[in-house]
Amino acid sequence: MRLFGTNGIREVVGERLTAPFVTAVAGGIAKSIEPGRPVVVGWDGRTSSPAMGRLMSATLAMGGHRVIEVGLLPTPAVQYNVTRLDAQLGIILTASHNPPEFNGIKCIAGDGLEVPRDVEERIEASVAAGEGRSVPFDRIGEIRSDAHGAERYVDGIVAQVDVASIARRKFTVVLDCGNGASVPTSPTLLRRLGCRVITLNGHVDGTFPGHLSEPTEANLVDLERTVPALGADLGIAHDGDADRAVFVDASGRYVPGEQTLTLLAREFVRRAGGGTVVTPVSASQSVEDVVRPLGGEVVYTRVGSPVVTREMLRRHAVFGGEENGGLIFPGFQLARDGAMTAAAVLDYLATSGELLHVALATLPKYFLVKEKVHCPVDRRDRVLELVAADVASDGSRVLTLDGLKVFRDDGWMLLRPSGTEPLIRVFAEAKTRERAEFLANDGLDRVRSALQRAGPNPP
Ligand code: MG
C-alpha cells in the first residue's frame, strides 16, 4: 500500500483524509521509531491542519514519544526546528500549493531532510498491518508547545545575509503571503532586514480568499498590479507552505522561477570559487551556462526536491533547487526555503547595487515550450526506449535519469511520462521561441512514431 508520493501524503480532507486515517498514519509513525529524542510537529494554515496536528501529537504521545509542537510555520521553518531542537523526526501537516480541499503529511528526518523512501515504506507497512504503539500510563509522552519556532528560524536566516547592506538600500517590498504559512515569519524577516514591508493576503486563512496557493503568474495578478502602483522595488510571493518564493520586478513583471535559480546559482558558485549545483533534469540550460565559466558544475537528478537535497548532501553542493522557485541553500539548511530565498535575493541586490530587472537582464535568455502527447501507460517505457535508440544513433548527449532528456547544440528536449495520466510531457528549451517550438514538435513526432512501432512494456 503506497501512501507517500514525491512530497509526502496528499489527500482530500473528508474523503480519504479523515481522523481515523490520520490516526492510523500517526500510529504507523509512532511504531516506526523508538521513544527517545523528541518528535517536532508543525503545520500550515489549512483549515484542517491544527486538528490533524493534534491527532498526530496525541497518537505519538500515547505511544510513548515526547512531542514538541511548533504549530503554524512554513515547512522549511519546521525543518530548521527539527535540527535545532535535536529531534529524531519532524512531522508537517501540509499540502503545500494544492487547492484548499487538500491536506497532507510529510516526514522530516533528524538531519532536517525529507525522510528517505525506506522510512516511508516502514511507515506504510505498519499502517497496512494496523500496527501502532501503546505504552502504560507511566510512559506516556509529554506534549510541549514551543512558541519560539518562528523566531529561531528568522534569527537563523538573518545570520546568513549582510543585514547592514540590505538595510542601507531601504527596499520597499510588497509581500504576498497568500494567506498561508509564511504569515508568522516572512513579514518579520523582511522588517528585520530593514525593508518597508507591505503585505497582501497577510492573514492566515485556509480557504485562500486572495488566490489559490500556487504562486503562478496568473494567481499573482494583485501583486503584479500593486508593486508598480505603490512604487515598490519588488514583490515577493510564497506558496502555501512557503518552501518556495517567486518574484515580481518593479514594473510588475513576473519573474519565472528558473531565472531566480540561475541568478543565485551563479552567485553562490562565484562566492565559493566553483563547486556543484544540483537541479532536476527539467532545469534551464541557463544554469549550466552561468556556472561552467566560473569553474562550477551542474549535476542533474530526477524531478522532486527530496532527491535534489539528498544529492546535494552527497556531493557537498554549494547550491541547488528547482525551476519553480524552490531553492536550497546548504549554508543554511538542506531544504527548499522560501524566506531564505527572499533574503538571498535582497542580499544579492544589496551587494551588487543592482535592481532586480537589471540583474536578470545579465542572464542568458531561453524560451521554454511545454507540450504533451497521449501515450498509454502500458507502452510508454517502450516508447521512450525506442526514442532513446533513435536519438543515440545521431550521437546526441542523452540523460535517462527521469524520462529522456536529449541535448542539442542549441537547446534540449525532455520527454517525461506523467505520474497520473496516460501522457508523455514534452518540454523543449532553446535560445529562440521558433527553435524551442521546433524541438518540441520533433519530440512529439518522435513519440508518435515510436508509439506506432511499440508493443506493450515488457512484463
Ligand atoms: Mg510548497
User: Pick from 10, 77, 64, 59: which is nearest to 37 by CA?
Assistant: 64
Residue found under cell 543515440? 392
The set of cell numbers assigned to 24 is 492510523
Tell me whether the CATH fold assigned to 153-241 matches the one assigned to 257-339+353-361. yes
Q: Residue 377: its pLDDT value, please?
A: 87
The set of cell numbers assigned to 210 is 486572495
Domains of the chain by residue range: 9-147, 153-241, 257-339+353-361, 367-453
3-state secondary structure of 373: strand
- Does 57 qualify as catalytic in the annotation? no
- Name the active-site residue from 32, 48, 49, 96: 96
* 161 within 8 A of 343, measured Cβ to Cβ: yes
**Per-residue pLDDT for 458 more than 80?**
no
CB atoms within 10 A of CB 25: 25
What are 400-433's pLDDT values in tens digits? 989 999 999 889 999 999 877 899 999 999 999 9
The set of cell numbers assigned to 100 is 484548499
Q: Residue 396: its pLDDT value, please?
A: 86
Q: Is 353 left (phi over 0), alpha (psi -120 to 50) or beta?
A: left
CB atoms within 10 A of CB 34: 10
| CA end-to-end distance (rounded Å), the chain | 21
Average of pLDDT values for 300-321? 95
The set of cell numbers assigned to 91 is 512531522
State the chain's mean pLDDT as an integer. Answer: 95
**Per-residue pLDDT for 457 more than 70?**
no
Q: Residue 388: its pLDDT value, please?
A: 92
CB atoms within 10 A of CB 389: 10
The set of cell numbers assigned to 268 is 553562490
**Per-residue pLDDT for 459 more than 60?**
no
Average of pLDDT values for 239-258? 97
Average of pLDDT values for 230-239? 98
244-265 burial string, b = 16+ CB within 10 Å, else e?
A: bbbbbbbebbbbbbbbbbbbbb
Distance 242 CA to ligand 1 centre (A): 6
Distance 434 CA to ligand 1 centre (A): 33
What are 126-171's pLDDT values in tens digits? 999 999 999 999 999 999 999 999 999 999 999 999 999 999 999 9
Pick the CATH number of 9-147 from 1.10.287.180, 3.40.120.10, 1.10.10.10, 3.40.190.10: 3.40.120.10
Fold entry, domain 367-453: TATA-Binding Protein (3.30.310)
* 260 within 8 A of 246, measured Cβ to Cβ: yes
What are 190-219's pLDDT values in tens digits? 999 999 999 999 999 999 999 999 999 999
Distance 170 CA to ligand 1 centre (A): 29
User: Pick from 320, 356, 343: which is nearest to 161 by CA?
Assistant: 343
330-358 burial string, b = 16+ CB within 10 Å, else e?
A: bebbbbbbbbbbbbbbbbbbbeeeeebee
Q: What CATH number labels 257-339+353-361?
A: 3.40.120.10
The residue ranking higher by pLDDT, 395 or 334, is: 334
Distance 244 CA to ligand 1 centre (A): 6
Band of residue 453 on the pLDDT scale cut at 50, 70, 90: confident
pTM above 0.75, yes or no: yes
Q: Residue 456: its pLDDT value, please?
A: 66
Q: What CATH number labels 153-241?
A: 3.40.120.10
Q: Residue 409: its pLDDT value, please?
A: 87
Distance 62 CA to ligand 1 centre (A): 30
Q: Residue 394: its pLDDT value, please?
A: 83
Average of pLDDT values for 69-82? 98
CA distance 274 to 282: 22
What are 31-75's pLDDT values in tens digits? 999 999 999 999 999 999 999 999 999 999 999 999 999 999 999
Average of pLDDT values for 7-19? 95
Q: Residue 384: its pLDDT value, please?
A: 93
CB atoms within 10 A of CB 287: 27
CA distance 236 to 224: 10
Distance 229 CA to ligand 1 centre (A): 28
CA distance 69 to 31: 19
What share of the chain in percent tops pLDDT 90? 91
The set of cell numbers assigned to 188 is 518579520
**Which residues make beta-bridge pairs with 102?**
12
